[in-house]
Amino acid sequence: MKRTPIACYLILLFAPFAQPGLTVAGGQPSDFSHPHFQVARPPLNNKIQPDRAMHADLSIFADETWILPVRSSHLSPGQITPRALNMPGLRPFFLVGEDPHSLAWLRQRATELQEMGAAGLAVEVADTEALARIRAAAPNITILPVNGNDIAARLQIEHYPVLITASSLEQ
């Protein structure tokens, strides 16, 4: 018979005490339905759109240099073919770049975009100066630098600038 060192027996004896104990919400198993575990439900009136346009205040993210440059390899400046969409509840947003066509499009449609509460995604931005030029073209609209490849693939688009609403995709 092999001799097992006493240390092995001690490890086996004290192992159950080394693991953390089970913690139950509320202290008792019967407290599981405590208010902290209530399921979030949509509002009873099923109202999705607000009564007026709402704009996100993202001014707390003042330093965006960490994300720049932004390049979206699946998108380029160009013309798009308008088409209908069926995405109820989608808030309007648009994709732009730092190219002259996008900047002119933004200046031309800035008032309309602001009135509809559209948010902007700058999908081609080289640096902070380019982002500042894009934002200057539509000063009262939130425009964030974001890679647009996933959006391009999901919506099957290849070009920007483009406005995407719940019912249409247009330039």
Cβ neighbours of 106 (radius 10 Å): 24
Q: Kindly report, residue by residue over 66-110, the tens digit of the pLDDT.
A: 889 999 999 999 999 999 999 999 999 999 999 999 999 999 999
The size of the chain, in residues, is 171
Among 3.20.20.150, 3.40.50.880, 3.40.30.10, 2.60.40.1220, name the CATH number for the domain at 76-170. Answer: 3.40.30.10
Q: Could you state, in order of their start, the residue ranges of all structural domains in the chain?
A: 6-37, 76-170
- Asked whether the whole model's pTM tops 0.85, one would answer no
Task: For residue 83, list its beta bridge partners.
Answer: 169
Cβ neighbours of 109 (radius 10 Å): 19
C-alpha span between 119 and 57 (Å, rounded): 11
The DSSP symbol for 32 reads G
